[in-house]
């Protein structure tokens, strides 16, 4: 059991990096997570360890695994695959097909410009 040390400072750094990567303010990100901005600030500074519910919500919002948030290890799945999995769980097959058609059209436009 001593091999599994949960470090709130490291978790806070990862949460902050994920938030900044998405270019979100603490207030906006906290609203997305249904927590107060002050609680998010405490998490990011490593002064509070987030609850499992908050960790799960962060992992979904940021498209990372819980392993990454807690231990910094994200070898199981890359973020693109995680994003696709989240989208598949959120939207209907028809919505996904329409989005893929739009994406394909957009990529063709880009390729034709070059």
Digit-coded pLDDT (tens) for 52-109: 999 999 999 998 888 889 988 766 556 677 778 778 888 899 998 999 999 999 999 8
Q: Does 82 lie in the same domain as 57?
A: no
Listed range (11-25, 30-44, 77-91) with the worst mean pLDDT: 77-91
The CATH number given to whatever domain includes residue 61 is: 1.10.260.40
Give the range of the structural domain holding residue 89, as residue numbers without chain letter: 77-114
Closest among 34, 40, 38, 45 to 7, alpha carbons compared: 45
Q: Determine the average pLDDT of the residues in 26-55.
A: 96
Q: pTM for this one?
A: 0.67
| Alpha helices (H) in 6-113, listed in sequence order | 8-21, 26-33, 37-44, 52-62, 66-71, 79-90, 93-113
Give the total number of structural domains in the chain. 2
Three-class SS state of 24: coil
Q: Does 27 lie in the same domain as 63?
A: yes
35 contacts 54 by C-beta, under 8 angstroms: yes
Higher pLDDT, 42 or 109: 42
Distance CA 5, CA 24 (A): 29
């Amino acid at each position: 059991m001593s091999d599994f040390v949960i470090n709130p400072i490291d978790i806070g750094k990862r949460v902050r990096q994920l938030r900044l990567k998405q270019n979100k303010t603490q207030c906006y990100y906290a609203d997305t997570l249904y927590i107060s901005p002050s609680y998010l600030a405490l998490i990011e500074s490593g002064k509070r360890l987030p609850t499992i519910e908050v960790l799960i919500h962060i992992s979904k919002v940021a498209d990372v695994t819980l392993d990454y948030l807690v231990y910094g290890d994200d070898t199981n799945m890359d973020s693109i695959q995680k994003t696709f999995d989240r989208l598949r769980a959120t939207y209907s097959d028809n919505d996904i097909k329409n989005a893929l058609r739009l994406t394909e059209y957009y990529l063709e436009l880009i390729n034709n410009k070059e």
